[in-house]
Amino acid sequence: MPDPRADIAVIGGSGFYSFLADPTDHRVATPYGEVKVSTGEVAGRRVAFLPRHGEHHEFPPHRINYRANLWALRTVGVRQVLGPCAVGSLQPALGPGTLVLPDQLVDRTYRREQTYVDSGASHVPYADPYCPRTAAHVLATEPDVTGGGAMVVIEGPRFSTRAESQWYAAQGWALVNMTGVPEAPLARELGMCYSALALVTDLDAGLEEGEGVNQEEVFAMFGENIERLKEMLERVIGTLPDPDGCTCSTWMDGMDLPYDVPGPT
């Protein structure tokens, strides 16, 4: 049996279905279903990869089994998750091709299982949804990445109407996406460091003069930037600081959680 353990995970988004040079595939059982996780080495680190939409993009954003995915990654030992994703821009200054590390989330989803807390009174702190240590590291080492801004996560699979998009932009929010929730809050509930690495693929409908965003535009822009994104991830993985002592692993200290956080024994 190949050793399924990994320390860092990359969850690929639209147009991002493979990452590892010489992957070993594992079927990981979780209380929410089985998940295929690939592991391998990147920049000398043990890395797990899974494409959140499936290998053939079979799961639309609202059908992704987020709970199983995060549980499976933690089961193989992952404590740091990098979540690259395609996003629309709500600010003209963030044009297509811009890489952004958002620092806030606005949840506009409404029909997703987004917690492991299915009983009892465990209310996990969530004021700052992303890992501060990873953010500081990425922003210090990757001059190409713009830091900050709120990402609003819509239910999808449709894009926003022009009025919805104008409303989001008027709030001062920076980005719009369909998968950032519940991936990030589930990682928090498992004590993992989580960072969204957003690639702007389009100006959202509220900013555009024309027809509004469409799927071809998103996939084409993601395709144009995928190699750049992978190279950036490799550099970040190679130098990512240790998660020991990061606040991400301590938010649930002292809570009477209705589940045991999984992990290698």
Catalytic machinery residues = 202, 204
Smallest distance from ligand ADE to CB 251, Å:
27
* E runs forming strands in the chain: 8-12, 24-28, 35-42, 45-51, 80-89, 99-101, 104-108, 145-147, 150-154, 175-177, 193-203
Tell me how crowded residue 165 is: count the other CB atoms within 10 A of its CB.
Answer: 24
Shortest spacing between CB 45 and ligand ADE, in angstroms: 28
Give yes or no for a contact between 200 and 260, defined as CB atoms under 8 angstroms apart.
Answer: no
Min CB(203)–ligand ADE separation in Å: 8
Q: Give yes or no for a contact between 139 and 145, defined as CB atoms under 8 angstroms apart.
A: yes
Q: CA 242 to CA 160: how far, in whole Å?
A: 38
SS (H, E, C) 100-113: EECCEEEEECCCCC
Contact 53, 60 (CB under 8 A): yes
* CB 248, min distance to ligand ADE, A: 25
Residue at shortest CB range from ligand ADE: 88
Considering the complex, state which of residue 84 and residue 88 has its C-beta at the smaller distance from ligand ADE.
88
Q: Please say which residue, 153 or 246, places its beta carbon nearer to ligand ADE.
A: 153
**Smaller CB separation from ligand ADE, 189 or 202:** 202
Query: Under the rule (CB under 6 A), what is the footprint of ligand ADE?
Result: 86-88, 154, 159-160, 176-178, 201-202, 204, 213, 218
- Among residues 103 and 204, whose Cβ is nearest to ligand ADE? 204
